[in-house]
Amino acid sequence: MRKTSLHICHLALQAKMVPFAGFEMPIKYIGVVREHHAVRDYAGLFDVSHMGEFLISGPQAVPFIQYVFSNDIERLDIGQAQYGYMPNAKGGIVDDLLVYRIDHQRYMLVVNAANIEKDWNWLVTHNKMFGATLENQSEQWSLLALQGPKATPILATLTEATIAKIPFYSFIHGTVAGVENVLISATGYTGSGGYELYVPNAHAEKIWNSLIDNGAEPCGLAARNTLRIEMGYCLYGNDIDDSTSPIAAGLRWCTEFSKDFVSKDIIEQQKAVGTNTKRVGFVLNERGIPRQGYSLKDVAGNDIGIVTSGTQSPSLEKGIGMGYVDREHAIVGNNINVIIRNKSILATITSLPFYHAS
């Protein structure tokens, strides 16, 4: 198991450590529900240093990224970020990722930990047609996610940067807790606002401890999962993968058809004709927790789909989940059944996200 630069900090806080994407990561500290509510009500701090960072630069950076990425990076100003995915040759999804525009010819791609090697090989192969400069910087950076409504006042005590004025999906470079050149990004995976801090490994522990000393609650990957499910966000390997249609997954909004990209013709056909299945969210009307792989049936008992993510929502205090169902059943308000331990549990398809901040 690989370890992040904050591994000693997690052990000192008596975190429960588990294998995740090749790393030994904290799944929880005090408890999942407490950590979840800390993010929704105050501020939680996550170590997500297992994520990968690729620097793409040079005169060919833009045409190269435009070809391998679904969204349109030419819309980005310097200091802005964008979500999208890399399509594969069959119209599936290599990975979903963020693209940061650092300057005129430099971009940072932030990819999922489990896909670092796969993504890198995919990019290197396709770059042969373009000749951009690629650098895998994943080993150089730690990534801290400070999330929640009190993230701004907590971080503001440690930096002179005007962080409250950073627009959503934008970033600046600033000094945090005396550490220079930290990339401070107004992004996150929780739906409760906050920041993601890209920090050189040698300084990660100092910033982590400073944030906790100023009131941030350390949070593990279990709370990160319940938070992202409440927002209806995809997790690669659960809700999307190499065989998933981005149209079925609901990722049309980050697919720009005015430019050329890998498998554009296939995905454009999916958009025009429609897909056989569609990703939906559902809320259980009875007690139970939906889990990945559970069957979904219509009220007559016919198989119509499968659960891809599910949990007991700490905010709603109900079982919630996402999955793919046959297109004709993917209608908000429809009742379906989730098969939990051979028992049919009634659920209702609902719009996403499940959670709305008050």
pLDDT tens for the chain, 358 residues long, are 999 999 999 999 999 999 999 999 999 999 999 999 999 999 999 999 999 999 999 999 999 999 999 999 999 999 999 999 999 999 999 999 999 999 999 999 999 999 999 999 999 999 999 999 999 999 999 999 999 999 999 999 999 999 999 999 999 999 999 999 999 999 999 999 999 999 999 999 999 999 999 999 999 999 999 999 999 999 999 999 999 999 999 999 999 999 999 999 999 999 999 999 999 999 999 999 999 999 999 999 999 999 999 999 999 999 999 999 999 999 999 999 999 999 999 999 999 999 998 7
Among 193, 212, 198, smallest CA distance to 151 is for 193
Rounded distance, CA 29 to CA 17, Å?
9
- Cβ contacts of residue 94 below 8 Å, gap of 6+? 85, 86, 87, 88, 115, 118, 119, 122, 242
- The reported pLDDT for the residue numbered 38 is 98
Q: How many CB atoms lie within 10 A of CB 310?
A: 25
Q: How many Cα atoms sit within 13 Å of 171 on the Cβ side?
A: 26
- How many Å from the N-terminal Cα to the C-terminal Cα in the chain? 40
Distance CA 225, CA 108 (A): 24
Strands (E) across 67-202 are located at 81-87, 93-103, 106-111, 133-136, 141-147, 171-176, 179-185, 194-200
Give the pLDDT confidence score for residue 358 in this predicted structure. Answer: 72
Ordered domains of the chain (ranges, CATH): 7-49+140-230 (3.30.1360.120), 52-136 (3.30.70.1400), 276-350 (2.40.30.110)
Q: What torsion, rounded to 10 degrees, do the Cα atoms 86, 138, 187, 34 define?
A: 110
Q: Under a CB-based contact definition with an 8 Å cutoff, are residues 156 and 163 in contact?
A: yes
Alpha-carbon span 336 to 326, nearest angstrom = 12
3-state helix, strand, coil in the chain (%, to 5): 25, 35, 40
Alpha-carbon distance of 327 to 236, in angstroms, equals 22
Q: C-alpha angle with apex 184: 179 to 187, nearest 5 degrees?
A: 150
- Please tell me the predicted confidence (pLDDT) of residue 357: 84
Residues 23, 25: Cα–Cα separation, whole Å = 6
- Give the list of residues 6+ apart from residue 74 with CB closer than 8 angstroms, or none: 62, 66, 259
**3-class DSSP assignment, residue 17:** strand
pLDDT value for 279? 98
DSSP 88: -
Say if residue 54 is exposed, middle or buried (CB neighbours under 10 Å; 0-12, 13-18, 19+).
Answer: buried
Cα–Cα dist 324/307, whole Å: 7
Q: Which whole-number Å values give the CA distances from 139 to 2, 5, 98, 199, in the listed order? A: 11, 10, 18, 11
